[in-house]
Amino acid sequence: MLTPRQKLILAAIVEDYVRYAEPVGSRTLSKHRGFQISPATIRNEMADLEELGYLDQPHTSAGRVPSQKGYRFYVDHLATSADIDPETVMSLRALFQEQMVEIERVIQQTSTVLSQLTQYTTVVLGPKIHQEKIKHIQLIPLSGGTAVAILVTDTGHVENRQVHLTEDISSDAVVRMVNLLNSKLKGTPLANLRSHLYREIANEMANTLEYFEDAIAVLDELTTVTDQNPGKVYVGGATNILVQPEFRDVEKVKPLLEWLEQADWNTAEHAFPLHGGKLQVRIGHENDVEPLQDCSVVSASYSVAGVPVGNIGVIGPTRMNYGRVMQILDYVANALSKVITERVTGGGG
């Protein structure tokens, strides 16, 4: 276990390195930190911290930088939770007070605003579609026996598919079909749609051959929603990572940018697994995804009525301002959970 003096010195080195991105020397600490410790004593403590694996000495520099082990200890034991500055609070309140109808847009805006406030890259996983429930189905006839089937879920997600109908089907038959589908399927989880279809609807509709096959065609198209698109991934500030001194080498950052560009819900969930409870911080090689192993990732789940449905991740260098990012992310996850829960349950106006 580190001594109180070693903890003080480690915290000071982490915070100075986060601020200036330059190795921190003993004289710098003794002058700017108000330490009543001589530079020689600080040097000795820094050498001990390096030997214990908490600091690294780049090249022949007299200064030290935190190692991944040092950042881990800082996050777990030393980081302080300062209040978010008033300007940031105002920006976040404005985001969540904006009357956006679609929850997808709220989530997309969250990724953008979060990246602007942290100056890091953000990834937000939208709710996993197969967990969502049907709110209603619409069918808009077009010409030539085609129509657009529209599916709206309880989280505000909207999917549409083009379907083929019997050419001479009447508008009254379409209305009756849609009304029956909505009465039977409202509240059904998308994951259960196919089985629910044949168990609950087929028998009732089988004798109405006038549009039974058309209804089956509509639902067959809608059941492909979860197969083709398990959920959406929103990336904010992808190029913010290039501003960091650690990633000015394009070849070094290229795998990360490619991963961000190609990430779908399943690959992103591997990097930011859903979880309840407190924030998670993964530093460097604690990340399972290889392109993230030179980075730190702070993530938090957001929930609907207490059930985690999606995740928010902030990606930055290991030289991250952990305290500020954790405070902002905690605020965002709680606010997003509240907004989505209110819209899904109809509470809060």
pLDDT digits (tens, 9 = 90+) for 98-138: 766 577 788 889 999 999 999 999 999 987 766 678 888 99
Whether the per-residue pLDDT at 209 is higher than 60: the answer is no
- 156, 343 in Cβ contact below 8 A? yes
Q: What pTM was computed for the model?
A: 0.78
DSSP state of 284: G
Whether the per-residue pLDDT at 349 is higher than 50: the answer is no
137, 139, 140, 142: CA torsion to nearest 10 = 150
Domains, the chain? 4-78 (1.10.10.10), 86-128+231-345 (3.30.450.40), 131-228 (3.30.390.60)
What's the whole-number average pLDDT of the chain?
A: 85
Whether the per-residue pLDDT at 225 is higher than 70: the answer is no
> What average pLDDT does this structure show over 84-91?
87
CB environment 156-190: b (16+ within 10 A), e (fewer): bbebebebebeeebeeebbeebbebbeebbeeebb
* Residue in the structure block whose two tokens are 């589908």: 181
CA gap 316, 112 in Å, rounded: 15
CA gap 11, 79 in Å, rounded: 8
* Residue in the structure block whose two tokens are 């967990």: 131
Give me the percent of the chain exceeding a pLDDT of 70. 88
Q: Of the segments 114-118, 203-207, 245-249, 336-340, which one has the largest average pLDDT value?
A: 114-118
pLDDT digits (tens, 9 = 90+) for 293-320: 999 999 999 988 788 888 999 999 999 9
Task: Read off the pLDDT band of 200 (50, 70, 90).
Answer: low
Question: Which residue type sits at 100?
Answer: M
Count CA atoms closer than 13 A to 27's CA, side-chain side. Answer: 1
Whether the per-residue pLDDT at 156 is higher than 60: the answer is yes
CA gap 294, 262 in Å, rounded: 19
Which tokens is 9 given?
A: 């010195």
Give, in order, the Cα–Cα distances in Å from 119 to each of 23, 238, 317, 321.
22, 10, 11, 10
Q: Of the segments 49-58, 152-161, 238-247, which one has the largest average pLDDT value?
A: 49-58
Least confident range from 41-50, 323-332, 336-345: namely 336-345
Count CA atoms closer than 13 A to 81's CA, side-chain side. Answer: 9
Whether the per-residue pLDDT at 330 is higher than 80: the answer is yes
> What average pLDDT does this structure show over 200-223?
71
Whether the per-residue pLDDT at 220 is higher than 70: the answer is yes
Q: What is the pLDDT of residue 252?
A: 86
Whether the per-residue pLDDT at 269 is higher than 90: the answer is no
pLDDT digits (tens, 9 = 90+) for 67-84: 999 999 999 999 887 778
CA nearest 348: which of 309, 340, 107?
Answer: 340
